[in-house]
Structure 1
């Protein structure tokens, strides 16, 4: 069993992962079965759902996770209501 399959299983199965990621159960099964590539943002969700037991680096080794983990989103600009 590959890391993505283990992560999906550890997260509670395809239906639970689909709800958390906002995708169809079929999409999750395609990721699990290797028919589609797991998008990086969903790899992060799966890692969190597994409480870090299965890391993004294991699921998607070709992604530069060191860079992604070191970057922070830019803060949203202040909006004045006046």
Structure 2
């Protein structure tokens, strides 16, 4: 599912709530959904989290090597 498909059935209030949980505005979500703007890495992660993976960060930002980031072990500092 892409972001536009996810967001289309949402009411205005639901979209506003979704955007707030993603730490952005409904307008920004629409810009990304319609392809007018690219999601930042942080926004892509927030959208992935808030859609419970229905809209993946991999789909939103295919230019980022998410597999590499997922495979990294936390460094012992």
Q: State the TM-score, normalizing by the size of structure 2.
A: 0.67
Taking only aligned residues, the RMSD between alpha carbons, in angstroms, comes to: 2.7
Deviation >3 Å, runs of 4+? 70-75
Structure 1 unmatched ranges of 5 or more? 78-82
Q: CA deviation at 1:24?
A: 2.0
Find the counterpart in structure 1 of residue 2 from structure 2: 3
Q: State the TM-score, normalizing by the size of structure 1.
A: 0.64
SS at match of 1:14: helix
Structure 2 unmatched ranges of 5 or more? none
| Greater Cα shift, 20-29 or 64-73 | 64-73
What number of residue pairs does the alignment pair up?
73
Larger radius of gyration: 1
